[in-house]
Structure 1
């Protein structure tokens, strides 16, 4: 992840965005039912786990946990973290530091759909593989933005603002229209990972609503980050207000979400 001043990150880095990240984390664990996929051997006290793009540093409380991110202002101060958790600056697109090569049993990646673009992927996967020990596992969770659709509890419910919001949110930015997430298993296999698995999840209606309202929060944060721009910000805020009302009447935007697993040979 990157700071709000970076062209690589479209959201703010403030308390509102931090709460969005934490909520997104909790909802994802609820949806998938695990922190670490059942195909990955249970980490022991001697295991080392890297959480790449750690954001607010919200991590499981076992083994050694290193949170790696390009920007750590969203994370708690080091004095507030458990003793087994360390934070370190690292950009997923940059070369892996020598002292981190081959260190980790598990590398965990989540929510890079709006950060990475198609040309970044091969280099990023190479970098993640370098972090792993031989036999170590990569776990990557993301949403397929190309699967976006409108869901209603009744066909005649008005949801014009929801559809407009979707178009305004994506706009003309390639970062907001990624379609590469379903291709990750093929990329992982091509890059030499074995035992590649894909766990696709669709939300129950109550969870879809929670994810959707988290998405509304993401749109609010995006609008705040674009306040210095003239194009469409006022309209975005107006449509957001109406979309929030439509949500309470029984409509929401939904996505397919995936977790991918691969073992380094």
Structure 2
């Protein structure tokens, strides 16, 4: 495990299934896997940074020309399927997205995809990650970014509203600041990337439950991870929130607990 692996969510079976469900949620929301504005060429190379279990690449693979190279990078390979299960044009490898890109990868990619880094950016500083993405890109290459805005949420139900009011103080205590997602378009522009599309939306009615379910699972993962790494005096507070979350999950019918989906397409100027 690399020094900067501060990933607060889990990498077990249920965590990987949650990634699959989140991918379906995003695909049903946007209507695409690869943004339709991005031109497809036979010799293009596409990377995903923070690929998790590779679901985005595996979904994209059959729709691409067989000569297109799809590369997934993550700081941990714990969620990668066995290599013999990878599509022929997909390769998964280890890479720390908060460090400089190895020279062999600099300027190699036509597209870099990133999704849901909300809990991975500490102190609100997107600079190291954006710099890493830029290094991977060819001139004229695209960053396709789908993010969760956890500040502007849609919450309904008494227990959900109470939980949403209480949990931010814990996040603040353990250094989880989610406000950077609202500043992401500005951060990309300040890094001299051209913003082609920037949308912050809400989920349509038929996706509200899917977002609620996956979000509640993710919150459980975050609390479990926080309890393992936080200061001893904060553990009782984390345990209290875990109990509240368990009660909320038990009565989730009619509950809405949604983040706002953000999608950005940016281009590296030549």
Q: TM class, shorter-chain normalised?
A: 0.7 to 0.9
- The number of equivalent residue pairs is 255
State the partner residue of 1:123. Answer: 128
* 2:234 equivalent to 1:259: no
CA distance in 1, matches of 2:143, 2:44: 14
CA distance in 2, matches of 1:13, 1:109: 18
| CA contact 1:188–1:196 (8 Å) conserved in 2 | no
Q: Which has the higher helix share?
A: 2
SS across alignment from 2:126: helix
5+ residue gaps, structure 1 = 152-157
CA distance in 2, matches of 1:262, 1:91: 22
| CA contact 1:162–1:246 (8 Å) conserved in 2 | no
5+ residue gaps, structure 2 = none
Alignment equivalent of 1:99, drawn from 96, 104, 107: 104
* 2:247 equivalent to 1:242: yes
CA-CA distance at 1:263 after TM superposition: 1.0
SS across alignment from 1:10: coil
The CA deviation string for residues 45-101 of structure 1, in whole angstroms up to 9 with x for no partner, is 311000000000111112211001111111112121011111111111101000100
CA distance in 1, matches of 2:69, 2:259: 33
| CA contact 2:124–2:178 (8 Å) conserved in 1 | no
* 2:183 equivalent to 1:183: yes
- 1:4-23 equivalence runs, <5 A: 8-23=6-21
SS across alignment from 1:30: helix
* 2:133 equivalent to 1:135: no
- 1:70-85 equivalence runs, <5 A: 70-85=75-90
CA distance in 2, matches of 1:129, 1:189: 12
CA distance in 1, matches of 2:224, 2:243: 13
The farther-off stretch of 181-190 and 124-133 is 181-190
State the partner residue of 2:26. Answer: 28
Report the TM-score when normalising by structure 1: 0.87
CA-CA distance at 1:168 after TM superposition: 3.2
Change (3 A) 1:161 1:38: closer
Cα root mean square deviation, aligned? 2.3
| CA contact 2:115–2:146 (8 Å) conserved in 1 | yes
SS across alignment from 1:244: helix
